[in-house]
Amino acid sequence: MQRVSVPFPEAPARRVVISGLGVTSPIGCTIADFQTSLLEGRSGIGELPGAGDAGPRFGGRIGDFTGHINDFGELPARLRKQLRKSLKVMNRETQLAVAATQSAIRDCGLDESAIDPERTGVSFGAGYVAIQPEDFLHGVEKCRTDEGTADLDRWGEDGLGEVQPLWLLTCLPNMPGCYIAMYNDLQGPNNTITLGDGGATLALAEAAHMIRDDLADLMIVGGCGNNLDSCSLMHVLLDEDLAEGATEPHRILRPFDRDRTGGLPAEGAAAFVLESYESAIRRGATIYGEFLGAGSSAVMEGRTPLRAAAMTNAARAALRSAGCAPENIGHIQAHGLSSRRVDADEAAAIRTIFGEAADHVPVTSAKSYFGNASAGSDAMELAAGLLALRNRKLFPVLNCNHVDADCPINPVRDNDADAGASFLKLSVTPQGQAAAIVIREAA
């Protein structure tokens, strides 16, 4: 079957484009390194420090990001000073988000003096930001009895004073958006979408509508996540299918492959600058892509999530919102978790939407490179799709050597696939909430 190009409908009155991009990921903390890793098939999966019997041995960790001020790139002196003072009260995912955001702001080439603070906002995706048990370690020790147990009746008098006074600010999901707005004096709309794996997709959609509705001129968008800390990892162990068996780290993740055994946890973030098409053209900005539409859905049968139905609904809503048909889509950025159940559900959704064309439309999965970092992976996948679109070159799904019969789709397995002029991005949470977005080249 030959794929044919179908023209897109007329664009809306106020077009919204992505003109800045930044990443802090297990496969690179610059756009160049991130893209090179994808095109060269370079995995970011490695052995986790201190891995034991209770959790996975491998995951997607950013080894060269320590949280030191130098990890945040070139910053104005004022911002560098402010940021250095606040690092000690930032959790890991907030640091990753701020670093990605500052990279995106630099990348978009917008002069700080040209930003209208009241017309510039933040929309960020996040997941469950866990309390860290070590924050309470010294307090619990103060309440320890001779028998080795903790006497919680003594907590108020003996233990509470040992807890860092601002500890609560390290575990709120809206803190990335808060710090990003505060450091950059962004006084416009500000919201956090706490949908985990679909948070960045819907954060971008909300930001685009803010610009379309003339509620903002510029929006900072992104997603961050850290599934490697102890409490978040416990949720992953409860909610997700993790890979089994010991093998070479870079061969573990294999979305849609018949031998896949599960996913792996990760950390990471990506951020974007959104503005009107006219504004980007006027200042000669690099345009990575144009937002067309988005959708979301959740379908339950009792307490059981029907992921295939939810992803189908979300994708159809996104296509409807974009005013286009499946034939318009150049490729699919899949959720691609490497789970036997979730991959099959996603493939079923793609098959339902595209019909026989699912045999031909290219499908890729960036998670095969870095694992699942909740909203962070959602954002990094968007970044991967935008770079593929800009270069018209798709990256392969790692380790998908034998496509599972339960996944009747067309995973990309080499570097020869054309990304086309648009993509559909899919995501779904362990609880079955699905999100989808349509992005195209800005003609």
Output the DSSP codes for 138-191. HHHHHTB-TTS-B-GGGIIIIIGGGS-TTGGGGS-TTHHHHHHHHHHT--S-EE
Distance CA 122, CA 124 (A): 6
Distance CA 24, CA 210 (A): 26
pLDDT score for 1: 38
For residue 51, give the 3-state DSSP assignment.
coil
pLDDT score for 4: 42
Of 2-6, 280-284, 432-436, highest mean pLDDT: 432-436
pLDDT digits (tens, 9 = 90+) for 226-257: 999 888 888 888 888 899 876 799 999 999 99
Question: Where is average pLDDT lowest: 110-114, 184-188, 190-194, 249-253?
Answer: 110-114
Residue 333 has pLDDT above 50, yes or no: yes
- When the pLDDT of each residue in the chain is averaged and rounded to a whole number, the result is 92
Distance CA 407, CA 340 (A): 10
Mean pLDDT of 14-39: 97
Q: What angle do CA 194, 205, 178 make, to 5 degrees?
A: 45
Total count of residues recorded for the chain: 443
Mean pLDDT of 286-300: 97
More confident residue, 159 or 122: 122
pLDDT score for 6: 47
Work out the burial of residue 233: count CB atoms within 10 Å of its CB; fewer than 13 is exposed, 13-18 middle, 19 or more buried.
buried
Question: Where is average pLDDT lowest: 6-20, 207-221, 299-313?
Answer: 6-20
- Band the pLDDT of 421: cuts 50, 70, 90: very high
Q: Please tell me whether the overall predicted TM-score, pTM, comes out greater than 0.85 for this model.
A: yes
Q: Which of 23, 199, 245, 108 is nearest to 253 (CA)?
A: 245
pLDDT score for 233: 84
Structure tokens at 50: 């201190």
Work out the burial of residue 372: count CB atoms within 10 Å of its CB; fewer than 13 is exposed, 13-18 middle, 19 or more buried.
buried
| Under 8 Å between Cβ of 441 and 421 | yes
Distance CA 193, CA 271 (A): 14
More confident residue, 214 or 165: 214
Distance CA 413, CA 61 (A): 25
Mean pLDDT of 159-178: 86
Residue 10 has pLDDT above 50, yes or no: yes
**In whole angstroms, how far apart are CA 23 and each of 79, 197, 378?**
19, 17, 12
Structure tokens at 240: 């997700």
Residue 373 has pLDDT above 80, yes or no: yes
CA 190 to chain centroid: 18
- Band the pLDDT of 8: cuts 50, 70, 90: low
For each of the domains in the chain, give its residue range(s) and CATH number, in order of start.
16-131+171-440 (3.40.47.10), 133-168 (no CATH)
Which region holds residue 203: left if phi is over 0, alpha if psi is between -120 and 50, else beta?
Answer: alpha
**In whole angstroms, how far apart are CA 404 and each of 142, 318, 365, 387?**
55, 27, 15, 28
Q: DSSP string of 319-358?
A: HHHHT--GGG--EEE------HHHHHHHHHHHHHHHGGGG
Those residues with Cβ within 8 angstroms of residue 221's Cβ, 6 or more apart along the chain or in another chain: 122, 123, 124, 200, 203, 204, 207, 271, 272, 273, 274
- Band the pLDDT of 168: cuts 50, 70, 90: confident
- Band the pLDDT of 5: cuts 50, 70, 90: very low
Q: Give kind and range of the element (H or E) at residue 436.
A: strand 433-440
pLDDT score for 128: 74
More confident residue, 361 or 163: 361
Q: What percentage of the chain exceeds 90 in pLDDT? A: 77
Alpha helices in 191-302 (DSSP H): 199-212, 230-239, 277-282
Mean pLDDT of 316-344: 97
pLDDT score for 53: 64
Structure tokens at 95: 């640091």
pLDDT score for 62: 97
Beta bridge partners of 196: none
Q: Give kind and range of the element (H or E) at residue 104.
A: helix 92-108
Distance CA 157, CA 160 (A): 7
